[in-house]
Chain A
Amino acid sequence: MNVESMLLLLIAMPPDARKFYPDDPVLVDGALLDVPEKPAELELSDLYDRFSNVFKDMGMSPLGTEAQSVNTLDEAVDGDWFVNRHGSKRMSLSELVRGPNRPNQDEPPNPDERWTVFRSKSQGVTPGFEIKDESGDRYVIKLDPMEVPELASAAEVIATKIFYALGYHVPENYVVRVHPDRFEIEPGTQVEDAFGDKSALTPFRFRRSIRRIPRLPDGRMRVTASEYVPGIPIGHRRYFETRSDDPNDVIPHEDRREQRGLRLFAAWLNHDDTRAQNTMDSWVEENGKHHVRHYLLDFGSTFGSGSVDMQLAHLSFHYWLDVPVVKKNLLGFGFHVPEYRKADWPEFPEYEPVGRWESELFDPVKWRNDYPNPAFLRMTGRDAFWAAKILMKFTREELAAIVETGEYSDPEDARYFLDVLVERQLKCGRLGINAVNPLDEFRVEAGELSFVNLSERYGFVEAATSYEIQWFSFDNETGARRELSRTTIQQETRSSLPTAPSAESFLLAEIRTKNPENPHWGTSVGVYLRPGPAGYEIVGIERESSEKSTFPMN
């Protein structure tokens, strides 16, 4: 062999052609490095984050590229960002209702004990404070808007339960009814006013600050108690780049599956406030190792609640500053009707505790959060499919049980809330499931590969569907593949495994779905089977992207 031939061979040979490792598919991120020193706390500027994201896409990867934080099954991995819960293994009703709250404690902090205020901050006439219960656990106490009891507290608690079941790390949030007499002030506590000035918080001043909070007939106040997240909080994170001080954070946040898929969840739950300020990273210790866990916080601005009042009508229909919308309005001289103006909100004041919450005009593609989020901009069909699969796991009964935890005093409010939640769920589900070839739940049993068409399962498609299936053998070391069968066209959602050329050979099934309503389902889903002692097991799922699989937000 001459030098030139050797050169050609070397160029042709990829340095590492192996597609699957023995430990694939990885389900849990166990490769964490210890972070022995607590990272410094980061306090972001809300204004800077807002303006920088409005005028520039802060993400680095080109739009349309696929998420990186997935395993070979195209799924998110359990770890510091996400834990597969209801989407992977159905949670019981009691688990869903409990959410992140600790078992065996129905209503911590105990309202019959002493609550010690150790920090206080007021926003005009709305007080805010933090307390320690008798066990020393710390909580942020949040209040409903003075004129609209139940609005923010119900939203906060319901959203917490759903985000937890979806798989995110969230704090424990409780609706608690507490008597004002239970509060006492820790000596030296200061109150920060709406202008940032601090002064001593006296019992008199505290009583005065809470005197306008609506009381229940027995004199108690309804509040939300949000427990401090476990570990040591180290501030916010951005929805782009990685944390430069965290060795375990190696995938840009905008390219993480669970951050991109969050767009569909946020649309479903109308969490328009999904921004850096409402995240919290915490330095935690587990099994002798320190690492950074990533939380979502502050769900007061979800559903029809805007936290301090009902949700503003325009939020979720366009960005806070949406230049194309402003341009249309300006040049339309009023004849161009902004989308949000077409919404028919529920009757107020009857449904005021639910707020501006509707499903008819809701379109998950057109839904917008407060300002552009680089991860949301990058949601592809595969990300949406992943999210839709999870959110469609919730049954109406399960959602009803979760809505009950919001403790609406009027059952009609809860009924309306639930109806809208389910209708929006179906819209989000339809969008995500139909975004790509909707085959999933692959199983190998009795010499057959079976699968489910999720779009048919959920009734998102009407036209008859057929499947083109072709089998290959697959060499995991070189990536080479060889036809084992001709393409078959069939209606059944199962296919017999072919005979592999050798005991080490992987099998690959490429399945294309033919449906006249959804021509883009013709992109293939590749299912990789690895031979094992107990027969073939599914080691990889490769979903081909299609052009239709992006959801521009500009």
Chain B
Amino acid sequence: MRFLRSFVGSWTVVAFVLAPRLEAQEAEAETREEELLRKRREKAQSLSPYEITKAEARVKGIEDARFPQKIFQKGWRGLRPVIGGMPSGSGTVLGGGYIRGLENEYFQFQANGRWSTKGYTMADAEFVIPPPQHGRRIEFKLRGEYRDLTSLRYYGLGNDSSVEDQSTYLLNDQSVTAYFWLNPRGLLSLGAMGGFVRTLTDSGDADRSIEEVFDPAEVPGFQDPRTEYGFTGGWVEFDIRDKWEEPPVGIVARVTSARYEDTGISLHDFTRIIGDLKGYVPLGRRNRVLALRLRTSHSLPDDGKEVPFYLMETLGGAKDIRGFREYRFRDTRNLLVSAEYRWEVWNYTDFSFFFDAGKVFQDASDFNFKNMHTGYGFGVRVHAPPNFVLRFDLANSTEGLRFHVSGGPSF
């Protein structure tokens, strides 16, 4: 019995080893072509559609839908949602609009309505010829705006205004502006503008209103009835940057001048001159760049006239001294210096350390670097061609930490 078991066991093993070998011998190809044909015939028995997985199909669906470009750029027959577009510090802004002229049309037109979580409302319409995407050497733009900004912040005038005096005011204005820009992307560009704005200020509807904190008589223009301004201006810009490699390096210098004529109550005629100098210095190769900016603005009232507080330029916020809130410092003149050390992390992302300093003042004799308010911080910029920039800045100052999310470069 034991012998039989051993015999059967051994031959089972032999059969197990031999069977595939005999089969292989039997199936042995005689030529290389035959060998290949055999593999192909074998595969032909189990063909299946060459297709994408469900996961890939889902991604492709999103890709084909061209979201979010289709939603936010073109919309449905030009009707689209809009995000942002109000003055900084307005809170979250949502709205809807209509656009036409995103491709090869002769002009671009858009009209939008916006609402912010702070209760602001805004309506705007814009006509540009030729459309900006054409990148032409000449551009004409006509823009109209209606804004109802119900709680803009006001901290008082001067460089020593206190954060404790934060108050709000309402600004309701309507404006029409025409711009003409020659060679907008060239070495030397020239621009001219002219328009009309109608303004009304009143009590703010959030926190404390302006008149609860300040004597209205000391806030130039607050007690005025609705008034109107005609304005004209122009600018000249030298852009001597080398743009053959990213990021461009070199210098951009711009001087802007504007004249405001108070055609309503004749109290606020003034001239504004702004100088803006930006330098981008490559540190070795362009993977790191030191960006520097010097900007100063001077609003010079005519004799016996004053600059209304709501048309004064301000400092504070994502575009200038990032360690302070928007509209934190306000007066007829200001001076700003900024420095950013930017370095490339990815082709679509830069990091930066920055330092900002600025002051506001009234007398020309204060045009110096004394008593500057300073802030510093760290930023991340996500960018994509051609012009998309999303900027995150975390900044610190004597008034604490501020975090800004904004679009476009800091400077």
Contact = CB atoms under 8 A, between A and B. Distances in A.
B69 A245 contact: no
Nearest to B13: A7
A47 B106 CA distance: 33
B103 A330 contact: no
B147 to A, nearest CB: 30
A40 B351 CA distance: 47
A249 B48 CA distance: 12
Nearest to A309: B385
A334 B73 contact: no
A21 interface: yes
A30 B32 CA distance: 10
A83 to B, nearest CB: 18
A313 B246 contact: yes
Interface string A134-159: 00000000000011000000000000
A125 B345 contact: no
Given A195-B70, A196-B64, A313-B246, A16 B28 contact: yes
A247 B40 CA distance: 5
Nearest to A24: B32
Interface in A107-125: 122, 124-125
A10 B14 contact: yes
Interface in B52-68: 52, 55-57, 59-60, 62-66
Nearest to A205: B104
Nearest to A235: B50
Contact of B17 (A7, A18, A194): A7
B14 to A, nearest CB: 6
A341 B49 CA distance: 45
B104 A245 contact: no
A43 B57 CA distance: 9
B65 A196 contact: yes
Interface residues of A, number: 76
Interface string B30-50: 111111110111011001111
A329 B345 contact: yes
B44 A247 contact: yes
Contacts of B345: 326, 329-330
A548 interface: no
A7 B285 contact: no
A334 B346 contact: no
A348 B103 contact: no
**Chain B CB within 10 Å — which of A22, A33, A40 has the most?**
A33
A11 interface: yes
A341 B249 CA distance: 14
Given A209-B104, A247-B44, A248-B40, A42 B283 contact: no
A326 B286 contact: no
B10 A338 contact: no
A33 B44 contact: yes
Given A195-B70, A330-B345, A337-B285, A33 B30 contact: no
A326 B7 CA distance: 68
B83 interface: no
B103 A334 contact: no
A318 to B, nearest CB: 9
A102 interface: no
**Chain A CB within 10 Å — which of B20, B43, B102 has the most?**
B43
A329 B344 contact: yes
A411 interface: no
B25 A4 contact: no
B284 interface: yes
Interface string A301-338: 00000000000111000001100001001101111111
B244 interface: yes
A245 B47 contact: yes
B296 to A, nearest CB: 29
A45 B52 contact: yes
A92 interface: no
B49 A334 contact: no
A10 B18 contact: yes
A247 B347 contact: no
A107 B321 CA distance: 62
Interface in A21-75: 21-24, 26, 29-33, 39-40, 42-48, 52, 71-72
B399 interface: no
29 contacts: A3-B14, A7-B10, A7-B17, A10-B17, A15-B28, A16-B28, A24-B32, A26-B32, A31-B40, A32-B40, A33-B41, A44-B60, A45-B60, A45-B63, A46-B63, A122-B103, A122-B104, A125-B103, A194-B102, A196-B66, A211-B104, A243-B50, A246-B47, A247-B41, A249-B43, A320-B347, A321-B346, A330-B351, A341-B286
The 10 closest A-B pairs by CB, nearest first: A334-B343, A334-B288, A45-B60, A247-B44, A15-B24, A341-B285, A3-B10, A48-B59, A31-B36, A48-B56
